[in-house]
């Protein structure tokens, strides 16, 4: 994919139905899972790429936060050998004190999901945490005052 952007790759993935598990090989060196001892910088880069893919696919496929849409997105991620995990919690301000929220990596700017912009905007957590595994990186999306949505990824081994 010389001279193309990551968004060209996302567009190609989401322009077709989901492919079988582990059928799409990424040529991004950072996503090579042969080395399980990745640095925090490598893991955060991987997480952000996968999160950009999430927002792009969500928009491209005109999805909503329901089980059918989430299952479809999970199939797309499985095609690149990634597990997508989404937890939805009914909105309650007490969630802002939960460990899952406090240890989040970032919050997805709500305007990123429903705007015409390609690029998502992430609001980084000012608290620093050591993370040694991809699944420890969590993004949060607040669906107005309906729910908080926790998103993370992991390699399928």
Task: Encode the chain (157 residues) as per-residue pLDDT tens digits.
Answer: 444 688 888 999 999 999 999 888 765 555 555 555 678 888 899 999 999 999 999 999 999 889 999 999 999 999 999 999 999 999 999 999 999 999 999 999 988 887 776 678 999 998 888 899 999 999 999 988 889 999 999 988 7
The domain of 10 spans 6-155
What's the CA angle centered on 82, arms 38 and 117, to 5 degrees?
A: 95
- Residue 1 resides in a domain: no
83-86 long-range contacts (CB < 8 A, ≥24 apart) are 83/153, 83/154, 83/155, 83/156, 84/54, 84/151, 84/153, 85/135, 85/151, 85/152, 85/153, 85/154, 86/149, 86/150, 86/151
How many structural domains does the chain have? 1
- Residue 13 resides in a domain: yes
Token readout for 91 is 């909105």
- Residue 46 resides in a domain: yes
- Residue 17 resides in a domain: yes
Contact between 147 and 59 (Cβ < 8 Å): no
Q: What is the pLDDT of residue 2?
A: 47
* Residue 36 DSSP label: -
- Residue 117 resides in a domain: yes
- Residue 60 resides in a domain: yes
- Residue 125 resides in a domain: yes
- The whole model's pTM is what? 0.88
């Amino acid at each position: 994919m010389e001279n193309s952007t990551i968004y060209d790759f996302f567009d190609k993935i989401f322009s077709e139905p989901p492919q079988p598990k582990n059928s799409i090989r990424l040529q991004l060196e950072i996503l090579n899972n042969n080395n399980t001892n990745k640095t925090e910088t490598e893991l955060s880069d991987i997480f952000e790429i996968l999160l950009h893919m999430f927002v792009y696919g969500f928009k491209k496929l005109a999805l909503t936060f329901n089980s059918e849409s989430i299952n479809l997105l999970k199939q797309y991620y499985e095609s690149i050998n990634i597990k997508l995990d989404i937890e939805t919690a009914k909105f309650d301000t007490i969630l802002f004190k939960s460990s899952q929220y406090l240890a989040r990596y970032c919050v997805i700017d709500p305007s990123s999901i429903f705007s015409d912009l390609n690029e998502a905007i992430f609001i980084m957590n000012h608290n620093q945490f050591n993370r040694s595994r991809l699944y420890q990186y969590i993004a949060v999306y607040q669906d107005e005052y309906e729910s908080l949505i926790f998103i993370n990824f992991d390699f399928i081994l």
